[in-house]
A = this chain, B = another copy of it.
């Protein structure tokens, strides 16, 4: 059901939400729940968060023996609202993948999607108020790692009395988080699904993300991170999003979609938008402004650069020996320039070397790194067939 088809009655039933300070309002959803972690949270690279809350949503029914949990991590920018539910029928970021009869079949599984630590959609992050100062952490948030995202999600599941997960999964940053989770809590995970992720970032993707962060920090409105809540480096975020799109999609997709089509623009600014691909980037970038907190972006993006499975054992191969997975699925895409196919092969091969029954799917999707969000024709059956085997 799409929002436009909601009856007035259903809208009236939607409970009123209280937003936390600095929170990005458009993502507030009545399906979202918050769990407060019981103890202070120690960050991996130093620093302690005295209070941590993790926002999450769930779909499906928990089995009596709690054996049907899927823990879903997100990429850099989505919230925990992966799909619609009776409490929030607005479409989620993975609507076609999650629901009754879908690959993440909620007739069978109890799916928990968490908003990453450091993000801005309900979980503790740079927009949260530091209880010790009474002001938002902003750029004083401690350095964030993928392992912190995994550990805080684990603490949330413990607080929710979910002692183990059947499947941990995610795409991009979410795939790294799922891999970290499997490494850090090997006895509590049966199956790993890694989509367009990797055991670490290579220099090309580090360069792209580093430049994105620099575009944000170069915007005077960033103010060293101390911009007013809800405001911030809009121009820097717009430019960083354009660079993001250049790296998220693929040259072959754009050649098919746009070719050398001219944009329908009035007037003639000699340095303005001329080609359709430029108009597309501008539209996508403008839509992103105000949707995501700039400091959260910096922390999460940097965490992707820092992540390295090898730190869990001296080398990738040694680290993966700690795993106690029953099975794994590694999915990658030919046109992905951020986490290219050779990194998918590397992960799958290392998992096999570590004794994990691993399936590798190299998809010929056109849409690059973003394919897991849009190429349902290929991703749906790949994930569905793997999960059906379980």
- The chain A residues found within 8 Å of chain B, CB to CB, are 139, 143, 200-204, 206-208, 210-211, 213-215, 217-218, 235, 239, 242-243, 245-246, 250-251, 254-255, 257-260, 270-271, 273-278, 281, 298, 302, 305-306, 308, 337, 340
A216 to chain B, nearest CB (A): 9
> What are 8 A-B contacts with C-beta separation under 8 Å?
A139-B270, A143-B270, A203-B251, A203-B260, A206-B277, A207-B277, A208-B246, A274-B305
* Bound form: Cα–Cα A220–B386 in Å: 53
A281 with B340: CB separation less than 8 A: no
B202 with A218: CB separation less than 8 A: no
Contact for A235 among B211, B213, B218, CB less than 8 A = B218
Contact for A260 among B200, B214, B298, CB less than 8 A = B200
A254 with B202: CB separation less than 8 A: yes
* Bound form: Cα–Cα A172–B252 in Å: 20
B213 with A215: CB separation less than 8 A: no
* Bound form: Cα–Cα A218–B164 in Å: 50
A254 with B211: CB separation less than 8 A: no
Q: Which residues of B contact A274 (CB under 8 A)?
A: 305-306
A367 to chain B, nearest CB (A): 13
Contact for A278 among B210, B250, B340, CB less than 8 A = B210
* Bound form: Cα–Cα A330–B141 in Å: 53
How many copies the complex holds: the figure is: 2
Q: Which residues of B contact A243 (CB under 8 A)?
A: 211, 243
* Bound form: Cα–Cα A206–B274 in Å: 10
Contact for A214 among B200, B211, B242, B277, CB less than 8 A = B242
A278 to chain B, nearest CB (A): 5
Beyond A202-B251, A203-B277, 12 additional contacts (C-beta under 8 Å) are A204-B251, A207-B254, A207-B277, A207-B278, A211-B242, A211-B243, A211-B246, A214-B239, A214-B242, A215-B215, A217-B271, A337-B337
* Bound form: Cα–Cα A340–B337 in Å: 14
| Residue of A202, A302, A305 with most partner-chain B CB within 10 A | A202
* Bound form: Cα–Cα A86–B264 in Å: 53
A254 with B215: CB separation less than 8 A: no
Chain B, residue nearest A141 (CB): B270
Chain B, residue nearest A143 (CB): B270
Q: Which residues of B contact A250 (CB under 8 A)?
A: 204
* Bound form: Cα–Cα A139–B201 in Å: 40
* Bound form: Cα–Cα A213–B274 in Å: 13
Contact for A239 among B204, B215, B302, CB less than 8 A = B215
A142 to chain B, nearest CB (A): 9
| Residue of A200, A259, A260, A271 with most partner-chain B CB within 10 A | A271
B271 with A203: CB separation less than 8 A: no
* Bound form: Cα–Cα A43–B214 in Å: 38
Rank and list the top 10 A-B pairs by shortest CB-CB distance, nearest first: A204-B251, A203-B277, A203-B254, A203-B258, A210-B278, A207-B277, A211-B242, A202-B255, A206-B275, A207-B246
